[in-house]
Amino acid sequence: MKVSNNCAGCAFFMNDPAKFERTFPGFTVLSSAYGSTRADAGLCTKKDRIFLPSRKACKEFVPK
Amino acid sequence: MSNEKDEVVKSAPPKSRWTDLYLKEDWWAIWLGLFIVLAAYFAFASGSSFVKAISINPGGLKWDNVGQVFAHLGANAPQYIMQYVFWLVFFTVSTAIMGVKPSKFIPSFTLLYIFSIIIFAIGGWKYAQYFNLEPPLVALVLGLILANVFPIPRWLDEGFRVEYYIKTGIVLLGATFPIILIVSAGPVAITQATIISVITCLTIFFVGTRYFKLDKRFASILGMGGAICGVSAAMAGASAVGAKKEHLYSTVTLVVIAALIMIIVLPFASKALGLPAGVAGAWIGTSEFADAAGFAAAVSYGHMVGNENAALHAFTLMKVIGRDIWIGIWSFIFALIACLKWEKEECGVAPSPMEIWWRFPKFVIGFFVASIIMTIITSGYSAAEFSKNVQPNLIVPISSLRTWTFIFCFASIGLTTRFKELKSVGWAATAAFTIGVIVNVFLGWLMSTQVFYGFWSVLQ
């Protein structure tokens, strides 16, 4: 069993709630990045896609 | 690192979920809500009038001269100052722990508090009901004007925390919500909400992918946003399927625009149709996407017909208990589909069923706990004692503080909506989403006014 890197440890992965809210203007009108429903989801600033931190890292992975 | 297909991957363990207890606003809403409920009870039991004193608001003045409002504020200044300090301390400390800078939050919340007093005062005008100046609608319209006509700096948004305020309000609402009502009405609400959520979500997904050729990830988050819980559900869905940033941004725009329109349209449509408050509350609960927007519409209609409780109860049963619980379940389903079908090689690890719990809107737990606590407390009183003593000295103060959190929320909706910041959305996504909204609103109307009319119309 090999432990792989995942998005949580990648420098491109951004899931700070304050930064996340700033990334999506209008997001806070009816939601919040500080709520339970977001869990720890974040934005991959390399691929511009939204992932959970447990996702298996891709070949673009750069350690934090 | 390696990305070989045949590699057995074990995901790194997530960070401790215990930190959620102080890093997530759902839990802070529970802590604050239950603190208020228990403080109100101990004050009531010990004969103290402190909680009653700081639950003051100018909403019931029925004034016909502005001087009366200033006279009221002047005469009760100490109470208002104490109340302001109470809210300020709790919200500032909790948001600071979550990561919001107090230097931004304090001035922002102070402005919000003053703005809320103005909204309360307008609602307390003698002719407010005659001109349909319901506080949620006034808050929304004035907030929209301020945010879009005047250059309100964006950093002020730090104190306009729509979700935090509404979640706190929902926990407080639990204290005035008999647990027996939840138990007896819950199955009907869950049945109606489930049927509509499933049909709406699948409608948007299939129409979007089959007829408008939308990306399946985009269609899935549009479906979740339109069927379950607006932006929050779209966010949960986006991370479940690995949606693109622009897709979430587009969904945010569509949800916000449609939700704002429905805050205005649904109460007036309900009034035109002459719907009982409970029926309208259920219809709004199945049609509005977000809790905050739905409460604004439900409270407005409750004010219009003079039966706020029935509208609030029906809406809460339908939206909070019937629909919000779907967020985690739908996220998990879409995550499974994405992982096992759409991108087998990228996925790595199958989604954990624990996602359902991680994404569960925890403030709902506070709602249930508050309801159970207050049901136990009040069960020892006769009907006469309840009306004479418990209602005015325990229930009314909690309801008033709940109304404050609602007004903070409604005002924040308008103040954070800047139309120029919203993304332009393509016609295909707009069409798919609009079809879903039409299906959702029609089904909500059908089930609330035809299928379950007998149930919702007598709800108090």
Task: Give pLDDT tens digits for B51-65.
Answer: 999 999 999 899 999
State how far residue A10 is from chain B, nearest Cα, in angstroms.
12
Q: Give the least confident one: A29-33, A53-57, B392-396, B406-410.
A: A53-57
B112 part of a folded domain: yes
Q: What is the pLDDT of residues A31-42, one digit of tens each?
A: 999 999 998 899
Q: What pLDDT band is residue B16 in, cutting at 50, 70 and 90?
A: low
Asked if B297 reaches chain A (Cβ–Cβ under 8 Å), the answer is no
- CB pairs below 8 Å between A and B: how many? 189
B229 part of a folded domain: yes
Asked if A19 reaches chain B (Cβ–Cβ under 8 Å), the answer is no
Asked if A63 reaches chain B (Cβ–Cβ under 8 Å), the answer is no
Asked if A31 reaches chain B (Cβ–Cβ under 8 Å), the answer is yes
Indicate the residue of A18, A32, A50 with minimum beta-carbon distance to B248: A50
B99 interaction partners in chain A (CB closer than 8 Å): 16-18, 34
Q: What is the pLDDT of residues B206-251, one digit of tens each?
A: 999 999 999 999 999 999 999 988 999 999 999 989 999 999 999 9
B153 part of a folded domain: yes
Region for B404 from its dihedrals, namely left if φ exceeds 0, alpha if ψ lies in -120 to 50, beta otherwise: alpha
With a CB cutoff of 8 Å and minimum separation 6, the contacts of B190 are B321, B322, B325
A8 interaction partners in chain B (CB closer than 8 Å): 12, 14-15
Give the side-chain half-sphere CA count within 13 A for B350.
7
B62 part of a folded domain: yes
Interface test with B, best of A6, A20, A31 (most B CBs within 10 A): A31
- Asked whether the predicted pLDDT for residue B323 surpasses 80, the reply is yes
B292 interaction partners in chain A (CB closer than 8 Å): 30
B11 part of a folded domain: no
Residue B167 vs residues B164, B247, B263, B329, B347: alpha-carbon distances, Å = 5, 26, 18, 20, 33
pLDDT at A55: 83
B333 part of a folded domain: yes
Q: What is the pLDDT of residues B138-171, one digit of tens each?
A: 999 999 999 999 988 999 999 999 999 999 999 9
B1 interaction partners in chain A (CB closer than 8 Å): 4-5, 57, 61
B355 interaction partners in chain A (CB closer than 8 Å): 39
Q: What is the mean pLDDT of chain B?
A: 92
Overall number of domains in chain B: 1
- CA B355: distance to chain centroid? 21
- Asked whether the predicted pLDDT for residue B355 surpasses 60, the reply is yes
Indicate the residue of A6, A30, A48 with minimum beta-carbon distance to B12: A6
Q: Around Cβ B75, how many Cβ atoms within 10 Å?
A: 9
B216 part of a folded domain: yes
- Asked whether the predicted pLDDT for residue B397 surpasses 70, the reply is yes
Give the residue numbers spanning the domain of B64.
20-458
pLDDT at B25: 96
- Amino acid letter at B154? R
Asked if B395 reaches chain A (Cβ–Cβ under 8 Å), the answer is no
State how far residue B75 is from chain A, nearest Cα, in angstroms.
35
Q: Are A34 and B164 inside 8 Å of each other by CB?
A: yes
Interface test with B, best of A28, A29, A47 (most B CBs within 10 A): A29
State how far residue B392 is from chain A, nearest Cα, in angstroms.
33
- Are the CB atoms for B254 and B127 separated by under 8 Å? no
State the DSSP string of B227-277. IIIHHHHHHHHHHHHT-BHHHHHHHHHHHHHHHHHHHHHHHHHHHHTT--H
Asked if A60 reaches chain B (Cβ–Cβ under 8 Å), the answer is no
CB-based burial label for A63 (10 Å; 0-12, 13-18, 19+): exposed
Asked if B14 reaches chain A (Cβ–Cβ under 8 Å), the answer is yes
Q: What pLDDT band is residue B15 in, cutting at 50, 70 and 90?
A: low
Asked if B417 reaches chain A (Cβ–Cβ under 8 Å), the answer is yes
pLDDT at A3: 45
